[in-house]
Amino acid sequence: MNDPEVVFSFVDGIARITLNRPQRLNSLNDGMHEAIAAAIASVEHDPALRVLVLSGIGRAFCAGQDQTDRVPVADGEQRDLGASLEKYYKPLVLRLRALPVPVVCALNGLAAGVGSTLALACDIVIATKSAYFLQGFTKLGLLPDAGATQFLPQLIGPARAIGLSMLNDKLSAEQAAEWGLIWRCVDDAAFEEETQKIIDQLACSATKALGLSKLAIYAAAGNSLEQQLELEQKLQRALGYSDDYKEGVAAFREKRAPVFVGR
């Protein structure tokens, strides 16, 4: 039996979705989209979920949409590219952002086209020094999509976003970290160890606090200051009733490390 193109595991609160199509640089096809959607659906409402990790096998994280996987259109016909965005990419990005736990992208290599957008849809991106980003959309006569036209200018400003989109320069992981596009860039040899440290830290943290912090930070771009203050008030009230808050206060008073249970 051939290895699955998407490998999924869920152990000790840590869900891992690994793109496993290295011969095509983990470029996405319809079957992979369906497998990813099924994996997320299996854990997104599970109270045991503490972290979701997205990564790739081989020398690429994801080279974007597999253009060769699509059935050629007949002469005189046109392809509706918006249909693929509506069916697969829009739901995927929205589900990643809506997950009430941290989503970590372990960026092991190239992130190109919509593969770059997929990485940026995650909450924390840690990359190898050999990894790089490449937009590449305009080389096909397209624009950056799946949320790229929002993520890029929000993270690095419109001037850099436009430059990357129009000129299609490679952006090294080191430069991406310096610009604030990703959280951290580490030596390739230390990548697995450093990534696991972040995953373990998040998995042992107060899950509700992490999830609501994520919710509030992403909501800020569309809120006035007054609206954001009201949102913080609402969310902080909810956290004040949580078991993890009680544990955090008790641990602080007792001068010990807290043991959070994610509730």
Over residues 148-165, the pLDDT tens digits come to 999 999 999 999 999 999
Residue 75 has what pLDDT? 64
Residue found under tokens 């949409």: 65
112 to 69, 132, 171, 195, 246: CA distances (angstroms)? 17, 8, 10, 21, 44
36 and 1 in contact (C-beta within 8 Å)? no
E strand map for 98-256? 103-107, 110-112, 124-128, 132-134, 171-172, 184-186
Residue 1 has what pLDDT? 36
145 and 92 in contact (C-beta within 8 Å)? no
Q: Tens digit of pLDDT for each residue in 236-259?
A: 999 999 999 999 999 999 999 999
How many whole angstroms separate alpha carbon 218 and alpha carbon 249?
27
How many whole angstroms separate alpha carbon 135 and alpha carbon 112?
6
Q: Which stretches in the chain have pLDDT values below 70?
A: 1-2, 69-76
How many whole angstroms separate alpha carbon 111 and alpha carbon 106?
11
Assign 11 to helix, strand or coil.
Answer: strand
Residue 116 has what pLDDT? 97
How many whole angstroms separate alpha carbon 114 and alpha carbon 127?
17
259 to 198, 252, 256: CA distances (angstroms)? 17, 11, 9
How many whole angstroms separate alpha carbon 62 and alpha carbon 113?
8
Cβ count within 10 A of residue 2: 5
How many whole angstroms separate alpha carbon 136 and alpha carbon 145?
11
Q: How many CA atoms lie within 13 A of 8 on its CB side?
A: 14
Cβ count within 10 A of residue 183: 17
